[in-house]
Copies of this chain bind each other. A is one copy, B any other.
Amino acid sequence: MTLKEIAERARKDVKVPIAERDVERAISALLASEDIWRVLDLSGTPVMALVRVLSTLRELGLLSWDGGRLVLTPAGRELADNLGIGPRRELKCPHCGGRGTTLGPVERIAGKFREIAADRPEAIQDYDQGYVTEETTLHRVAFMWSRGDLYGKDLIVLGDDDLVSIACALTRAPRKVVVLEIDRRLVEFIGDVAEKEGLPIEVKQHDLREPLPPELKARFDTFFCDPTESLRGFKVFAERGIAALKGPGSAGYLGLTHCEASYAKWREIQRFLLEAGAVIAELRDAFHDYVNWPYIDHMRSWPHLPVHRLPGREEIWYRSALIRIEVVEGPTIEERRYEGDIFADEEAATT
């Protein structure tokens, strides 16, 4: 049995791309954990691909999950051995969670930010929400500061269920923070906090399927967004972000997962970013840890999971990379108006 044979079998009758290396990563994850959420996390493959691989391994007698644990059979372990596959090792620095950052001056606002975030609106499925841990947001702000994208800068945040605008502004480092957000609950929450704390945040209700308001075009040094991950949806966010930037030397931040995006999709996204005139300045995988959202048993991939245990709220399995881009020339962006669903493609797992 080869990885290729398993991948071909797994691909049968489904549209989601499944690479041989996805099969290898799945087996490597299964050698490291028997828990569905850890396996999802460790495999680093799209959920909708992974569930197919798991089913295929089971059909082939290589895996079982009768007791609610994912257990490689003796035949499965033998195959791993023959293919030279070892257990996945994370080897993340335990001090920074693998992010490589220390909070430095952002430490001072950590307590205040956590206090504010305690009252945040809960994530809802309508807008593909799901926010990162407060620790993640603080490290993100430190990262932006260290790259010269925070202090003295004009920032725009496109969709802000992470409350990154509040964390940025609390540091008093940026000159101004503008938020575009579709969810009225968040618009009100961020607006209220800004007023109460005297923060330089301006928040507007805006549907990103529509082009930017003209007064926000080409006006910012830095954008931040955590896009929905259909290829179309990702581009919507990236286009608006890039259109908001002043020009060469301006920077953008985007999140991108493995859970909902294959490397084939990553590559399409990267081509798009380069063509727009940007360089990929940094790409730190698994920088962002997400708090489990309340609609987890209503997400698209839930019925396909082999085991239906609800994870704890901070039992992290959904992570995303932090991508920093910098404009080198242009930028050249076609500002389109989008209609209909921007959330769905065959790799989408959570909406």
Q: Which A residues have a C-beta under 8 Å from some C-beta of B?
A: 19-21, 24-25, 28, 83-86, 88-96, 98-105, 142-143, 145-146, 148, 151-153, 173, 175, 248-249, 263-264, 266-267, 270-271, 274, 278-285, 321, 326, 328-329
Contact = CB atoms under 8 A, between A and B. Distances in A.
Contact of A28 (B25, B148, B267): B148
A102 B96 contact: no
B92 A105 contact: no
Nearest to A175: B84
Contact of A95 (B95, B145, B175, B263): B95
Contacts of A282: 283-285, 321
A131 B282 CA distance: 23
A83 B249 CA distance: 14
Nearest to A22: B249
A91 B248 CA distance: 25
A263 B175 contact: no
9 contacts: A20-B248, A21-B326, A88-B148, A89-B105, A91-B102, A96-B100, A264-B329, A274-B274, A283-B284
B90 A146 contact: yes
B84 A92 contact: no
Nearest to A80: B152
Contacts of A85: 151-152
A91 B142 CA distance: 7
B285 A249 contact: no
A158 to B, nearest CB: 22
The 8 lowest CB-CB distance pairs between A and B, nearest first, are: A84-B152, A21-B249, A93-B96, A86-B151, A91-B146, A100-B100, A267-B279, A95-B95
Contacts of A175: 84
A243 B151 CA distance: 44
A99 B321 CA distance: 15
A267 B274 contact: yes
B284 A83 contact: no
Given A92-B146, A280-B280, A281-B285, 19 more contacts: A19-B328, A21-B326, A86-B152, A86-B173, A88-B148, A89-B105, A89-B145, A91-B102, A91-B142, A92-B101, A93-B101, A93-B102, A95-B96, A100-B100, A266-B279, A267-B278, A267-B279, A270-B280, A282-B283
Given A98-B100, A271-B274, A263 B328 contact: yes
Contact of A103 (B91, B105, B153): B91
A109 to B, nearest CB: 14
A279 B146 CA distance: 26
Nearest to A154: B84
A24 B148 CA distance: 9
A289 to B, nearest CB: 13
